[in-house]
Amino acid sequence: MINHPFYNFIVFSLIISNTITLACDDYPQSLKKQAVLSILNDFFTWAFTVEMLIKMIGLGVNNYIHDSFNLFDAIVVSLSLLDWTLN
DSSP conformation letters of 6-32: HHHHHHHHHHHHHHHHHHT--SS--HH
Instruction: Enumerate long-range contacts of 56-59, CB under 8 Å, 24 or more apart.
Output: 58/1, 58/2, 59/2
Please give the tally of structural domains in the chain.
1
Tens-level pLDDT at each residue, the chain (87 residues): 778 899 999 999 999 999 999 999 888 989 999 999 999 999 999 999 999 999 999 999 999 999 999 999 999 999 999 999 998
* pLDDT number for residue 67: 93
Q: What is the pTM of this model?
A: 0.87
* pLDDT number for residue 2: 78
CATH number of residue 12's parent domain:
1.20.120.350
Domain that holds residue 58: 5-86
